C-alpha cells in the first residue's frame, strides 16, 4: 500500500507537469492543476482520519503484540511491524471513546517505537534497529463487521431484490423494498452485487461500514437508463422516438463533434459543406419542415443548457442522444420544433483514481482537388469559343506553342495554382488526459484535451511573420458530484475551451477562390526578380493567390468560453416515497478577439521584353511598406435557471411518475454597438410530464410545454404545447410466449403532439413597425435630390407561434438473441410559418409587403436502425449495424397568388425546390433550331434545346418547372462493422446519402464565366460539342465567350446526381495483454491506426461531392491518417 501511494503521488507530479506543457500557460490549464493538487492533498488527510477513530478496549497483562491485534479488530486497521520490534512486553490498557492516536502514543512511546499511517495501515518501527516488516496477526482473519447500505439504479430509484454476497463465501443478503441491505463481512472481503438486467459489481470492503451502490444497466437491456428531456427514463418504458450513439464512436481525430455523427444515428441528416480547418457540419433532425433550411436546425443542449456541440471534446461525452418526436420534445415547447440533441458530459465513478491518457498523431490531405485544364487546352478552347460565334481568335499559334514549351514562362506561363499553393500533407495532433474516481461522498471527473491542426497551404520562408493556417484548441472539463447527505446530491460542472486560429491576412477562403477562378495563363506565380505579378482589376484588390497567401500579413483569432453548472437534487422521501426537487443554475461567457496585421504588396504586370531581353513592367498597385493593424471583438454571456419537482413510485404493478419544471434563460451580447443586438434575448417556460406504467407492459405518457418568447406581443407571448404517447410491450403477453425463442422483445410506440417555434426569419420584435428614410425626390431643372420624410420600413405583424403537429408510430424488437431493430414512421405538419405576404399586389402602394404567419409545410418519412451482435467461438466477435433515414417535405401554403400554369406553382413541391427548364439535349443542326420553339440569344447547333411546356412556340419564364431533388438529401444511411479476434479489432463506418442533386453553376457549368482573359476550365473541357465533335451527349454545349448565351439558364442539363457512399472512418486496434501491463501498473493499453474520409464512391467526379452545389469553389474535405495510444492507469 505504501509503495502504491508513492507511485500514485509520482503520477500526480507527472500529470501536473504534462498538463502545464499541454495547456501552455492558459488559465484553463491552471484550473486543472488546482483540481489535481486537491486530489493529491486529499490523500494526506486520510491518515489523520484513521487516528481519529474512537477506541473502547480493556486489556490486563497482555503482550503489546496481542494488544495491537485487539486494537486492529476494534478500529479496522492493519498493523505492520519489524520482527525486531519490542512487542513482547506485557501491558495494561483501559480506554473508553479515546482517539486511536492517543492510545498508540501511550502504548508505543514507552517502548521507544514510532508509527506511520499509510492508507488503512499503520507501520510500527523500532527507532534504533528496524528489521524487515511483516503483517501483524491482526492482519489475519478478524471478527466480521456489519456493513449496511442502499442500492439504486441509474435514475436514483431504489432497487429491491438485489443479491449481495461476500465474494468466495456463502454469506449473502437481498435488498429490501427500499433498496437497503445489511451483511456481515471482514475488512478485506469484497461484496458482489447482482441483479437481472444490470452489470454485476464487485466492491472491496476496505473497513467501510456503509457501502452504497448505483447499478449500471446492461447496454441494450430492458433496464438500461436513457437520457430524455429534463431527466432519465428506463429504456423499456420509453415512448418517444429517440436515437443514441456510443460515446466511444465519437472519439475521432477531428475538431468538431458535428462532423462525426453523420451516418451513425437514424433520423439525422448531416452533411459538411466546407472542409476548412475548424469547419463543422450542417445537421437536421428528420429533414426540413420550414421554408429555409437554416431555420430548421435542432436545439442542442449540453448538460441541459443550450450550447454549441462543436466545442465539446468527444472524450468528455458520456451520452449523445437525439429526440425526434413530439412526445420527446414537447417539454421544450417552442425550442423543440426542430428536434433536440442531448449531450451529457462524464462524471466521476466510485473507486480509486483512474487515469486515462489518449494520444493521437496524424497527417491530413485533401480528398479531391479540382482538376483544371492546362494552358494550351485553355487557349485552344478560348479561340474555339470565339470562332463558333463568328469572332476572331485571340491566341496565336506562336503563343500557344510558347505556352506548351514553356520557353518563356514569365510571359507565357502555365501555372497549376493548386499545386503551387498546397503542400501534399498537413498534420493533426490530439492529446487527452482525464482522471476520475471518488468515494461515496464525492466523485470527480477532470479531463483536459489539446487539439492541434496545421493546414496544407504553403508559407514563404522569406517573410518575417507567420501566415501559416493553424488551429489550436484547449479543452478542460471538470465535474464534481457530492453526496453531503443520503438524500442530497450536488453536482458542480466547470468546462472551458480556448481556441487560437492563425491564417494569412487575405483569408483562407478568399485564397482558395482566387486560385480556383484564375486561369493558368494569366501570369506566373512570381517573376524571377522577385516582383509580384498581378493584373489591373479597376480596383486595388489583389488577385494573385500566392501573394495573398504569403505577402499580405497575417491574422490571429482568440476565442474562449466558460461553461458552469450547479445542480442540486433533494430527495423528499420523508414526505412521500419517490418525491424530489431539483434546481440548476448555469452561467456561460464567450469572448472573441481578432487581430489583423495586414498590408498590400507592390504588384506588377510584365508587358514584354526590351532589346536586352529584360522584362518591361507596368506597375499595377503601389503597396504598403508596413503592416497595418485592425481588431474586432465579440462577446456574450448567458444565464440559465431551472427548478423542478419530481415524483416516481411503484405500487405493486403500477408505476407512476410526474414532473413539473420551470426554466428561463437570459443572453446578452456584450461587445456590440448595435442597439437592437444589445437588447437581452430572454425565454421563459413551464413544462411537465406524467407517466404511467402497468406490469412493465403498458405505458402512457403526457407532456406539455407552456413557453413565452420576447419575439411576440404581450397578448401572443405565451403558447401551450401538449403531447401524448402510449407504449405496449406485447412480447410480455401470454399469446406471445410461443414466439419468445425467436423474438425476445417487441414493443410498439405511438405519440402525437404539438410543438412550437419562435424563430422569426430576419425579424426581431416583428410586432413593432420599423421606420426608414426612403429615397429622396428630384425637383426642378437643376435635378437636386431632396430627402423625403420618414416612412414605414417593415410593417408591424400580428405574429405568433409556428405550431407543428407531429405524429410517430414506432416499433422496437430484439430477436434471435443478438439482433436489435428500431423503426419509426413519422409525419409533421407545420403551420403559421412566418413569411412575407407575396399575395399583396404592388398596386396597393406598400414599399414592402408585410409579414404574417401564413406558411404551411408538411414533412413525412421513415427512419430505423438494425444492430447484430454475435460471436463465432470464444475468440471471434462481431457487430454489424445499419441505419436509414428517408424524409420528404412539401409546401402546402406559401401565400403566393395563383400562377398562369400549374407547373409554376411552388405549392406541392419541396422547400427550396429548384425551378428551371427541361433540357431535351443539344440541337444537332441549325435546321433543327429553325424548326423548334424560339429561344433567346444566338441559338445554333450544339446549343441546349429546351421543352416548350405551354406550347406557345417560344421558350420563356412560363416554361420553367420544378426540377431535381434539391441540395438537402432525402436519404441518409450508415453501415458499420466491428470485428474482434482475441486482442485485435477492426471497425469502420460507411456513410451515404441519396435523392440529392448538385446543380452546376459558375465555372462548373460556364467556361470563361469571367471573360476570355480570366476564369478557369475543368479538365473535362474536351468533352464538349464542336464542329469536329458534334456529340449530342457532350458534357458541355457549344462554347460561348462569356455568359450571354441561353445555354447557361437554369435547366435539367446542369443537374447532376449528388449521391455518394464514403468510408467515413476505420480503425485497426490491438489491446496489449494484461500480463504485460500488470508489471507497469497499467489497467488497459491499446495501440491503434485510424483514418477519416478514406475513400468515396459517387458518379460525380468534378469536386468532393459532399460540398454540394455550385462551381466547386469551396475548400475540399480533409482526409486523415493517424496512429495513437490509449492507456488507462
Q: What is the pLDDT of residues 685-713, one digit of tens each?
A: 899 999 999 998 999 999 998 988 888 88
DSSP 547: H
Record: fold of 228-353? Ferric Hydroxamate Uptake Protein; Chain A, domain 1 (2.170.130)
| pLDDT higher than threshold 70 for residue 892 | yes
**Once rounded to an integer, what is the mean pLDDT over residues 953-957?**
94
| pLDDT higher than threshold 90 for residue 380 | yes
In the prediction, which pLDDT does 1076 show? 80
In the prediction, which pLDDT does 33 show? 38
| pLDDT higher than threshold 90 for residue 526 | yes
Of the candidates 712, 707, 734, the residue with the CA atom closest to the CA atom of residue 722: 707
Range of weakest confidence among 237-246, 419-428, 771-780: 771-780
**Once rounded to an integer, what is the mean pLDDT over residues 581-589?**
96
Of the candidates 976, 1001, 1020, 1035, the residue with the CA atom closest to the CA atom of residue 1107: 1001
How far is the CA of 839 from the CAs of 901, 903, 914, in angstroms?
Answer: 17, 18, 21
Q: Could you please report the per-residue DSSP string of 157-173?
A: -B-TT-EEEETTSS-EE
CA 554 – CA 467 distance, rounded (Å): 5
In the prediction, which pLDDT does 508 show? 83
Of the candidates 1053, 820, 1019, 945, the residue with the CA atom closest to the CA atom of residue 376: 1019
How far is the CA of 333 from the CAs of 179, 327, 472, 666, 970, in angstroms?
Answer: 36, 11, 37, 17, 26
CA 188 – CA 206 distance, rounded (Å): 6
| pLDDT higher than threshold 80 for residue 49 | no
| pLDDT higher than threshold 80 for residue 42 | no
In the prediction, which pLDDT does 255 show? 80
CA 117 – CA 194 distance, rounded (Å): 35
| 8 close to 355: Cβ distance less than 8 angstroms | no
Architecture of domain 2-139: 3-Layer(bab) Sandwich (3.55)
Q: What is the mean pLDDT of the chain?
A: 85
Query: Tell me: the pLDDT tens digits for 613-671?
Result: 999 999 998 888 888 999 999 999 999 999 999 999 988 899 999 999 999 999 999 88
Confidence of residue 791 (pLDDT cuts 50, 70, 90): low
| pLDDT higher than threshold 60 for residue 540 | no
Inter-helix orientation angle 375-387/397-405, to 10°: 160
CA 686 – CA 702 distance, rounded (Å): 14
Q: Could you please report the per-residue DSSP string of 224-250?
A: -EEEETTEEEEGGG--S-EEEE-GGGG
For 327, list phi and psi in degrees, rounded to 5: -60, -35
Confidence of residue 135 (pLDDT cuts 50, 70, 90): very low
Query: Tell me: the pLDDT tens digits for 188-206?
Result: 888 988 876 678 888 888 7
| pLDDT higher than threshold 90 for residue 507 | no
What the block records as the C-alpha cell of 667 is 443572453
| 208 close to 701: Cβ distance less than 8 angstroms | no
Domain 145-214 has CATH 3.90.580.10: no
Range of weakest confidence among 58-72, 465-479, 568-582, 815-829: 58-72
Of the candidates 345, 340, 344, the residue with the CA atom closest to the CA atom of residue 243: 340
Percent of the chain's residues with pLDDT above 90: 46
| 605 close to 536: Cβ distance less than 8 angstroms | yes
How far is the CA of 1118 from the CAs of 379, 592, 792, in angstroms?
Answer: 32, 26, 49
| pLDDT higher than threshold 80 for residue 532 | yes
461 vs 378: which has the higher pLDDT = 378
Between strands 784-786 and 743-757, the pairing is unpaired
| 287 close to 887: Cβ distance less than 8 angstroms | yes
Of the candidates 412, 247, 422, 390, the residue with the CA atom closest to the CA atom of residue 1115: 422
**Once rounded to an integer, what is the mean pLDDT over residues 93-99?**
83
Residue 880's H or E segment, with its range, is strand 876-893
| pLDDT higher than threshold 90 for residue 73 | no
In the prediction, which pLDDT does 172 show? 80
- Give the highest mean pLDDT range of 328-337, 420-429, 502-511, 1041-1050: 420-429
| 667 close to 636: Cβ distance less than 8 angstroms | yes
| 771 close to 790: Cβ distance less than 8 angstroms | yes
**Once rounded to an integer, what is the mean pLDDT over residues 562-581?**
94
CA 981 – CA 1071 distance, rounded (Å): 11
Q: How many residues does the chain have?
A: 1129
CA 867 – CA 243 distance, rounded (Å): 13
Nearest-5° angle of CA 303, CA 304, CA 305? 95
Confidence of residue 45 (pLDDT cuts 50, 70, 90): very low
| pLDDT higher than threshold 90 for residue 938 | no
Range of weakest confidence among 364-368, 484-488, 1002-1006: 1002-1006
Query: Tell me: the pLDDT tens digits for 1009-1030?
Result: 766 666 788 999 999 999 889 9
How far is the CA of 587 from the CAs of 593, 684, 1129, in angstroms?
Answer: 21, 16, 34
| pLDDT higher than threshold 50 for residue 140 | no
| 187 close to 142: Cβ distance less than 8 angstroms | yes
In the prediction, which pLDDT does 8 show? 36
Widest pairwise Cα distance in the chain? 129
| pLDDT higher than threshold 60 for residue 804 | yes
**Once rounded to an integer, what is the mean pLDDT over residues 106-128?**
75
| 487 close to 500: Cβ distance less than 8 angstroms | no
Query: Tell me: the pLDDT tens digits for 843-867?
Result: 777 778 888 889 999 999 999 999 9
Domain spans of the chain, in order of start = 2-139, 145-214, 228-353, 439-628, 919-959
In the prediction, which pLDDT does 357 show? 95
Amino acid at each position: 500500500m505504501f509503495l502504491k501511494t508513492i507511485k500514485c503521488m509520482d503520477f500526480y507530479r507527472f500529470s501536473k507537469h504534462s498538463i502545464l506543457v499541454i495547456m501552455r500557460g492558459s488559465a484553463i490549464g491552471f484550473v486543472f492543476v488546482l483540481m489535481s493538487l486537491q486530489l493529491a492533498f486529499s490523500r494526506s488527510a486520510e491518515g489523520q482520519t484513521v487516528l481519529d477513530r474512537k477506541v473502547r478496549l480493556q486489556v490486563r497483562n497482555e503482550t503489546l503484540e496481542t494488544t495491537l491485534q485487539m486494537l486492529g479488530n476494534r478500529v479496522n486497521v492493519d498493523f505492520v511491524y519489524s520482527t525486531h520490534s519490542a512487542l513482547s512486553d506485557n501491558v495494561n490498557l483501559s480506554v473508553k471513546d479515546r482517539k486511536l492516536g492517543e492510545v498508540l502514543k501511550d502504548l508505543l512511546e514507552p517502548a521507544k517505537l514510532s508509527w506511520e499511517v499509510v492508507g488503512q495501515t499503520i507501520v510500527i518501527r523500532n527507532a534504533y534497529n528496524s528489521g524487515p516488516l511483516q503483517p501483524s496477526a491482526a492482519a489475519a482473519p478478524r471478527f466480521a463487521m456489519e456493513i449496511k447500505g442502499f442500492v439504486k439504479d441509474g435514475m436514483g430509484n431504489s432497487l429491491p431484490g438485489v443479491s449481495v454476497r461476500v465474494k468466495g463465501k456463502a454469506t449473502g443478503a437481498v435488498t429490501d423494498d427500499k433498496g437497503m441491505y445489511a451483511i456481515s463481512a471482514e475488512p478485506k472481503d469484497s461484496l458482489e452485487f447482482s441483479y437481472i438486467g444490470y452489470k454485476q459489481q464487485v466492491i472491496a470492503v476496505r473497513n467501510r461500514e456503509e457501502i452504497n451502490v448505483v447499478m449500471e444497466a446492461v447496454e441494450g437491456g430492458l433496464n438500461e437508463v436513457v437520457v430524455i428531456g429534463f431527466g432519465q427514463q428506463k429504456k423499456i418504458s420509453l415512448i418517444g422516438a429517440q436515437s443514441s450513439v456510443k460515446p466511444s464512436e465519437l472519439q475521432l481525430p477531428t475538431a468538431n463533434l458535428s462532423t462525426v455523427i453523420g451516418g451513425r444515428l437514424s433520423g439525422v441528416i448531416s452533411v459538411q459543406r466546407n472542409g476548412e480547418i475548424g469547419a463543422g457540419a450542417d445537421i437536421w433532425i428528420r429533414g426540413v419542415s420550414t421554408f429555409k433550411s437554416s431555420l430548421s436546425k435542432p436545439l442542442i443542449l449540453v448538460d441541459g443548457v443550450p450550447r454549441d456541440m462543436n466545442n465539446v471534446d468527444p472524450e468528455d461525452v458520456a451520452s449523445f442522444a437525439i429526440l425526434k418526436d413530439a412526445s420527446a420534445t414537447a417539454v421544450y415547447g417552442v425550442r423543440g420544433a426542430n428536434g433536440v440533441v442531448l449531450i451529457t458530459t462524464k462524471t466521476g465513478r466510485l473507486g480509486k483514481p483512474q487515469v486515462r491518457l489518449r494520444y493521437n498523431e496524424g497527417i491530413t490531405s485533401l480528398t479531391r482537388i479540382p482538376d483544371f485544364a492546362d494552358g494550351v487546352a485553355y487557349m485552344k478552347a478560348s479561340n474555339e469559343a470565339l470562332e463558333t460565334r463568328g469572332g476572331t481568335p485571340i491566341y496565336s499559334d506562336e503563343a500557344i506553342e510558347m505556352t506548351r514549351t514553356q520557353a518563356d514562362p514569365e510571359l507565357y506561363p502555365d501555372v497549376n495554382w493548386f499545386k503551387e499553393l498546397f503542400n501534399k500533407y498537413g498534420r493533426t495532433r490530439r492529446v487527452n488526459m482525464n482522471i476520475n474516481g471518488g468515494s461515496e461522498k464525492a466523485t470527480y471527473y477532470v479531463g483536459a484535451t489539446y487539439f492541434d491542426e496545421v493546414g496544407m497551404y504553403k508559407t514563404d520562408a522569406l517573410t518575417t511573420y507567420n501566415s501559416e493556417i493553424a488551429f489550436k484548441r484547449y479543452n478542460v472539463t471538470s465535474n464534481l458530484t457530492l453526496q453531503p447527505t443520503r438524500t442530497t446530491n450536488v453536482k458542480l460542472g466547470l468546462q472551458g475551451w480556448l481556441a487560437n486560429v492563425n491564417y494569412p491576412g487575405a483569408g483562407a477562403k478568399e485564397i482558395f477562390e482566387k486560385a480556383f477562378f484564375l486561369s493558368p495563363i494569366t501570369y506566373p506565380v512570381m517573376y524571377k526578380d522577385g516582383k509580384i505579378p498581378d493584373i489591373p482589376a479597376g480596383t486595388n484588390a489583389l488577385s494573385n493567390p500566392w501573394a495573398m497567401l504569403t505577402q499580405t500579413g497575417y491574422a490571429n483569432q482568440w476565442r474562449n468560453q466558460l461553461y458552469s453548472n450547479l445542480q442540486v437534487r433533494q430527495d423528499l422521501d420523508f414526505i412521500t416515497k419517490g418525491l424530489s426537487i431539483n434546481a440548476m443554475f448555469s452561467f456561460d461567457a464567450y469572448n472573441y478577439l481578432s487581430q489583423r496585421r495586414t498590408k498590400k504588396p507592390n504588384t506588377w504586370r510584365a508587358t514584354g521584353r526590351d532589346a536586352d531581353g529584360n522584362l518591361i513592367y507596368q506597375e499595377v498597385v503601389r503597396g504598403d511598406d508596413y503592416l497595418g493593424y485592425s481588431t474586432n471583438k465579440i462577446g456574450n454571456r448567458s444565464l440559465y435557471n431551472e427548478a423542478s419537482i419530481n415524483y416516481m413510485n411503484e405500487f405493486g404493478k403500477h408505476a407512476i411518475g410526474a414532473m413539473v419544471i420551470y426554466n428561463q434563460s437570459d443572453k446578452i451580447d456584450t461587445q456590440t454597438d448595435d442597439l437592437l443586438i444589445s437588447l437581452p434575448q430572454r425565454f421563459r417556460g413551464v413544462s411537465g410530464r406524467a407517466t404511467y406504467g402497468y406490469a412493465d407492459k403498458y405505458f402512457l405518457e403526457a407532456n406539455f410545454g407552456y413557453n413565452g418568447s420576447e419575439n411576440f406581443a404581450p397578448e401572443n407571448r405565451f403558447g401551450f404545447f401538449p403531447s401524448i404517447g402510449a407504449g405496449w410491450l406485447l412480447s410480455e403477453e401470454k399469446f406471445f410466449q410461443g414466439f419468445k425463442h425467436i423474438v425476445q422483445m417487441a414493443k410498439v410506440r405511438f405519440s402525437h403532439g404539438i410543438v412550437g417555434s419562435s424563430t422569426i426569419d430576419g425579424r426581431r420584435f416583428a410586432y413593432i413597425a420599423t421606420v426608414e428614410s426612403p429615397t429622396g425626390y428630384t425637383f426642378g431643372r437643376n435635378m437636386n435630390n431632396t430627402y423625403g420624410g420618414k416612412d414605414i420600413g417593415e410593417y408591424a405583424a400580428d405574429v405568433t407561434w409556428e405550431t407543428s403537429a407531429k405524429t410517430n408510430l414506432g416499433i422496437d424488437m430484439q430477436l434471435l438473441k443478438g439482433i436489435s431493430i428500431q423503426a419509426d414512421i413519422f409525419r409533421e405538419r407545420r403551420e403559421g410559418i412566418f413569411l412575407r405576404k407575396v399575395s399583396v399586389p404592388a398596386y396597393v402602394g406598400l414599399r414592402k409587403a408585410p409579414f404574417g404567419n401564413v406558411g404551411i409545410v408538411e414533412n413525412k418519412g421513415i427512419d430505423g436502425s438494425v444492430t447484430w451482435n454475435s460471436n463465432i467461438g470464444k475468440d471471434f466477435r462481431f457487430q454489424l449495424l445499419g441505419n436509414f433515414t428517408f424524409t420528404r417535405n412539401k409546401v402546402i401554403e406559401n401565400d403566393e397568388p395563383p400562377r398562369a400554369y400549374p407547373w409554376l406553382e411552388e405549392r406541392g413541391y419541396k422547400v427550396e425546390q429548384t425551378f428551371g427548364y427541361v433540357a431535351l439535349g443539344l440541337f444537332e443542326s441549325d435546321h433543327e433550331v429553325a424548326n423548334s420553339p424560339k429561344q433567346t440569344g444566338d441559338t445554333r447547333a450544339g446549343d441546349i434545346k429546351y421543352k416548350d411546356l405551354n406550347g406557345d412556340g417560344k421558350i420563356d419564364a412560363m416554361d420553367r418547372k420544378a426540377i431535381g431533388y434539391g441540395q438537402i438529401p432525402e436519404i441518409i444511411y450508415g453501415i458499420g462493422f466491428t470485428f474482434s479476434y482475441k486482442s485485435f479489432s477492426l471497425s469502420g463506418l460507411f456513410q451515404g446519402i441519396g435523392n440529392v442533386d448538385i446543380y452546376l453553376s459558375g465555372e462548373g457549368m460556364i467556361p470563361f464565366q469571367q471573360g476570355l482573359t480570366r476564369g478557369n476550365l475543368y479538365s473535362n473541357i474536351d468533352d464538349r460539342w464542336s464542329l469536329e465533335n458534334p456529340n449530342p451527349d457532350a458534357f458541355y454545349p457549344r462554347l460561348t465567350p462569356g455568359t450571354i448565351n441561353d445555354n447557361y439558364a437554369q435547366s435539367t442539363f446542369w443537374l447532376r446526381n449528388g449521391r455518394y457512399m464514403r468510408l467515413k472512418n476505420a480503425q485497426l486496434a490491438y489491446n496489449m495483454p494484461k500480463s504485460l501491463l500488470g508489471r507497469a501498473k497499467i489497467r488497459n493499453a491499446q495501440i491503434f491506426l485510424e483514418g477519416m474520409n478514406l475513400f468515396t464512391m459517387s458518379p460525380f467526379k468534378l469536386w468532393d461531392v459532399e460540398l454540394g452545389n455550385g462551381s466547386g469553389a469551396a475548400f475540399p474535405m480533409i482526409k486523415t491518417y493517424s496512429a495513437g495510444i490509449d492507456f488507462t492507469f
